[in-house]
Amino acid sequence: MKGTLSLGVDIGGTGVKLALVDGRGRIRRLQKFASPTKESPTEFLNIVGRWIRRFVGDRHLKTLRGIGLGVAGDVDHVHGRVRISPNLQWRNIPVKTLLRRYLPSIPFIIENDANAAAWAAYWVETHQRAKNLVCLTLGRGVGGGLVLNGVLYRGATGSAGEIGHMTIDLNGPACPCGSRGCIERYVGARALVERVRQAIEDGEQSLVTELVGNNFQAVTPLVIQQAAQRGDRLAQRIWREAGERLGVALASVVNLFNPERIILAGGVARAGRLILDPARRVMRQRAFPVPGHTVRVSLSQLDQDLGVVGAALLVP
């Protein structure tokens, strides 16, 4: 008899989450730990595997429905491999093979983390009512997932939805993916921090300096958000420009897929209206009028747990 809970695993560049999730997408138990990024990919996954084994324990071993794992990067979900993960610096890693040995009797699937997030957005946030949905995860990098006509869309090789690596500037800054001018290089957390640091080094005054006590290694999107909310002009400009560039990308997404909903999640998205207002404005200016004004762009209510819930819900 199949169990009522699935295990979701969300592997990101900064943290790993494990969650036991029921069929309605409710988290029954949650565990988080820092990503062991200084380790080799094999040892990284060995650490994750040991955490999974302890987390599941004997209590849920016989009744667990399955394990769904979401990981940032270009994922071959059929063979359980990560082809490339720029933020984790992984290439051709057999994730499923390395992790299956810790729970060999449990069904196991692997998926791109933003695809998993999109699936949770579809099932839990829209209750399957928005049949055409785009989800963007705005964090260290920028991921994207597509649900089209109520089905998770993976494309010919499982690589669909990489909205963060849409080029918006032919000669823009180099991206870890190997291209240039990707939207991730303007909206991702690292890009925002880089731009603030560079502006201050160039002589601009900012509350950010005070908030981090002159320790610019401590600058984060949250610090930039706090400065902007206190009226700091540099921080407000950084958020406005990031939102405008995001809006350019969203206009192309709207024209291409004509979604009913666009849901934003992740640490950068938590800036709320600082990034959302300029993104909506530019999107509506540049998209075709009817789809541009029909689509609803909003922040995820599940937010930080969207990926781990979606990974669990992908278990058949």
Res. 1: pLDDT tops 80? no
123: which DSSP letter?
A: I
Please tell me whether residues 165 and 238 are part of one structural domain: yes
Distance CA 309, CA 119 (A): 9
Whole-prediction pTM: 0.94
| 62-66, 161-165, 199-203: least confident range | 62-66
Q: How high is the pLDDT of residue 2?
A: 58
Please tell me whether residues 276 and 263 are part of one structural domain: yes
Res. 315: pLDDT tops 50? yes
Please tell me whether residues 48 and 105 are part of one structural domain: yes
Report DSSP letters for 209-259, one per residue.
HHHTTT-GGG--HHHHHHHHHTT-HHHHHHHHHHHHHHHHHHHHHHHHH--
Q: Which amino acid is at 213?
A: G
Please tell me whether residues 72 and 172 are part of one structural domain: no
Please tell me whether residues 269 and 168 are part of one structural domain: yes
Domain that holds residue 31: 5-119+305-313
Overall average pLDDT of the 261-277 stretch: 96
110-122 pLDDT tens trace: 999 999 999 999 9
Please tell me whether residues 284 and 153 are part of one structural domain: yes
How many structural domains is the chain composed of?
2
- Edge-first strand listing for the sheet containing 90-93: 74-76, 81-85, 90-93
Q: How high is the pLDDT of residue 96?
A: 94
Distance CA 104, CA 47 (A): 16
282-312 pLDDT tens trace: 999 999 999 999 999 999 988 889 999 999 9
In the block, residue with structure tokens 């849409």: 166
pLDDT band at 13 (very low <50, low <70, confident <90, very high): confident
Please tell me whether residues 209 and 107 are part of one structural domain: no
State both tokens at 285: 């200016």
62: which DSSP letter?
A: T
Which CATH number goes with the domain that contains 149?
3.30.420.40
Overall average pLDDT of the 155-176 stretch: 94
Please tell me whether residues 78 and 60 are part of one structural domain: yes
Please tell me whether residues 17 and 67 are part of one structural domain: yes
- Mean pLDDT of all residues belonging to the chain: 94
Please tell me whether residues 295 and 258 are part of one structural domain: yes
Please tell me whether residues 185 and 281 are part of one structural domain: yes
Please tell me whether residues 107 and 132 are part of one structural domain: no
